[in-house]
Structure 1
């Protein structure tokens, strides 16, 4: 059996029934899950994803707070990404708007900064939809 290279960094400020549904889809698809704690929000995305050249720091007691669920995906091709999104819909996992892929550009960002960028983009897209 091939080793899954896909990884989902999963951050949630509070546990819910949706966590079980989400993790069930990931497990069935053979996708690795890494739960991110509030103390890890200042870590670089590359370190959290286990990328070469990135080292995790000690957990910060004063890390910035992320107030909502966040998924950061690593190692997904287009087909597998579509399978994942379809699987989440089919399992009736409530939408998680804060999603991103690990890229060479954001791997060096602290997770909190990536979250802020995703939040900003989401707000801009929502405003555009509402103005139409």
Structure 2
């Protein structure tokens, strides 16, 4: 791959029926592209986009399946990004869940590490602020918590500017690590995760 040419990395958890149409758009716009499988997610972004100085990793790092569609762009101007998204929209291609731009910093990350970072940012962008009203820790009785069981707490919250309380479950250890306690202001993601502000 030519390291100065626009390059797209595209990942889908399941191969979509409109993939040939997407490939046709990339070819029409003169964009190099790679359709990634789950095994590719353990490779560095720099290697996958063809940047110089990056070699294929031969380590036996286990790869993780990604549950969302991801589009990563390298060497794109803002105008060319708009052109690409316009073509995809006109072709009726459903919106891709997560998008990212390659930088000199994240080129050294694995595709999976980049996915984790943009998924976290995406969740924060779509989260709502809430106040923790109380936390009820798990009660394992006099016998204590069995080995291997994760302590889950009932976390009661209310969204800012609202009075209705709701409850979510969260790992006790994670709440402690994130310094989340009663009266803390937190973010609640669309899938019910509690994140520190």
Greater relative contact order: 1 or 2 (C-alpha under 8 angstroms, separation 6 or more)? 1
> Would you say the 8 A contact 1:7–1:74 is kept in 2?
yes
Deviation (angstroms), 1:60: 4.7
More displaced, 55-64 or 39-48?
A: 55-64
Deviation (angstroms), 1:20: 2.2
Unaligned runs of at least 5 residues, structure 2: 129-159, 161-197
Taking structure 1 as the reference length, what is the TM-score of the superposition?
A: 0.86
* Bigger fraction of residues in strand: 2
Deviation (angstroms), 1:75: 1.2
> Would you say the 8 A contact 1:13–1:66 is kept in 2?
yes
Deviation (angstroms), 1:105: 1.3
Does residue 47 (structure 1) correspond to residue 47 (structure 2)? The answer is yes
**Structure 1 residue runs of 4+, over 2 Å off?**
58-62
| TM-align CA RMSD | 1.9
Report Cα offsets for 1:23-81 as digits up to 9, x if no partner.
22211111111121211111111111111111111375721221121111111111111
* Bigger fraction of residues in helix: 1
> Would you say the 8 A contact 1:13–1:69 is kept in 2?
yes
Q: How many residues align?
A: 126
Unaligned runs of at least 5 residues, structure 1: none
The alpha-carbon distance between structure 1 residues 20 and 121, as it changes in their structure 2 partners (threshold 3 A), is same
